[in-house]
């Protein structure tokens, strides 16, 4: 069996359960992988650094944190920037114009050295999901009159959020007109009728973030074990020596032929660790 030295894992829908928490089994599996098998565990998420950092700390992780779908890699303890691929300001403003013309609710994210600002020029009443996101992150929200005018420097990303059908139509426009200028990463939650479109630097993905961390740790590509559940995880799963898809992934993703683990409701990540790092499935006492 290949000895995996780095475990790259997505957060929402993968490492975390539906309650956005780590289960005891998953926590113990990660701790054992780190302490007994010298495996580096790297979180690769679409979340902002400030949102993902408490989870990484709670899990006892020390490796750099890959955030914003690979655009920003920062130190968990010091928050120092290790790697940053911002979106060109001209491209960002062009994207903002397309979104505005499409009637999409939009935010832009910047301030990589700090806590990360969330820039917005307003969200429609119908977009409850994005309004809730801005409310729970209100200390980081910076309200502006017009994002197209305000943005004058490179940004970490531009994000559109809305109902699945509307975002699918917008994604088709973006892929047709701006495919070479920005990387489109899609995260969809059909049960909530919500899709997130992240627009990043064209060479940016979770795979590039993981590759950067692996190079700093001296880990070869074939020694990387990756687990994810959504479209924005695909590059990372293809890049890793072994890429495994969660059982709670959408049917379209499952049809791509990835090896599957159990859903996040059944400790799918723990099962991956037990099988491919420990060499055999294990269970907690009393299970």
- What mean pLDDT do residues 221-232 have? 96
- φ and ψ at residue 205, rounded to 5 degrees: -165, 175
- What mean pLDDT do residues 68-92 have? 96
Give the pLDDT confidence of 123-164 residue by residue, as tens digits: 988 888 889 999 999 999 999 999 999 999 999 999 998 888
Q: What percent of the chain stands above pLDDT 70? A: 97
- pLDDT at res. 2: 83
Give the pLDDT confidence of 30-49 residue by residue, as tens digits: 999 999 999 999 999 999 99
The mean predicted confidence, pLDDT, of the chain is 93
β pairing state of 6-9 and 117-120 = unpaired
- What mean pLDDT do residues 255-272 have? 97
- pLDDT at res. 282: 52
Give the pLDDT confidence of 183-223 residue by residue, as tens digits: 998 888 888 888 889 999 999 999 999 999 999 999 999 99
- φ and ψ at residue 277, rounded to 5 degrees: -110, -45
72: which strand partners? Answer: 67, 84
- pLDDT at res. 217: 97
Q: Which of 90-104, 142-156, 202-216, 269-283 has the weakest average pLDDT?
A: 269-283
- Sheet order of strands, 141-143 included: 141-143, 117-120, 106-110, 157-162, 194-200, 183-189
The tokens for 188 are: 């969809």
Is the confidence at residue 280, as pLDDT, over 90? Answer: no
- pLDDT at res. 193: 85
- What mean pLDDT do residues 242-249 have? 97
| Strand, coil or helix: 263 | coil
Residue 259 pLDDT level (bands cut at 50, 70, 90) = very high
Q: What's this model's pTM, rounded to 2 decimal places?
A: 0.91
Give the start-end residues of each E strand in 229-278.
242-245, 259-260
Residue 285 pLDDT level (bands cut at 50, 70, 90) = very low
């Amino acid at each position: 069996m290949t000895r995996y030295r780095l475990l790259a894992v997505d957060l929402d829908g993968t490492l975390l359960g539906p309650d956005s928490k780590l289960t005891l089994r998953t926590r113990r599996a990660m701790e054992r992988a780190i302490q007994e098998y010298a495996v580096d565990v790297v979180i690769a998420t679409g979340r902002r650094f400030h949102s993902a950092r408490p989870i990484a700390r709670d899990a006892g992780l020390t490796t750099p944190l890959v955030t914003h779908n690979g655009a920003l890699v920062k130190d968990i303890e010091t928050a120092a920037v290790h790697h940053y691929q911002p979106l060109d300001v001209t491209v960002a403003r062009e994207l903002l114009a397309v979104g505005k013309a499409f009637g999409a609710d939009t935010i832009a994210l910047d301030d990589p050295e700090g806590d990360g600002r969330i820039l917005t020029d307003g969200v429609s009443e119908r977009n409850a999901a994005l309004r809730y996101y801005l409310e729970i992150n209100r200390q980081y929200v910076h309200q502006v009159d017009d994002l197209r005018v305000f943005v004058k420097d490179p940004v970490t990303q531009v994000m559109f959020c809305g109902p699945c059908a509307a975002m699918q139509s917008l994604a088709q426009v973006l892929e047709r007109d701006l495919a070479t200028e920005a990387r489109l990463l899609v995260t969809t939650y059909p049960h909530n009728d919500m899709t997130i479109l992240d627009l990043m630097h064209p060479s940016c993905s979770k795979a590039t973030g993981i590759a950067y961390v692996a190079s700093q740790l001296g880990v070869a590509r074939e020694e990387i074990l990756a687990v994810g559940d959504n479209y924005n995880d695909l590059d990372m799963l293809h890049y890793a020596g072994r890429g495994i898809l969660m059982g709670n992934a959408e049917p379209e993703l499952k049809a791509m032929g990835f090896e599957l683990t159990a859903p996040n409701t059944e400790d799918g990540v723990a099962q991956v660790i037990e099988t491919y790092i420990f060499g055999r499935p294990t269970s907690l006492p009393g299970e």
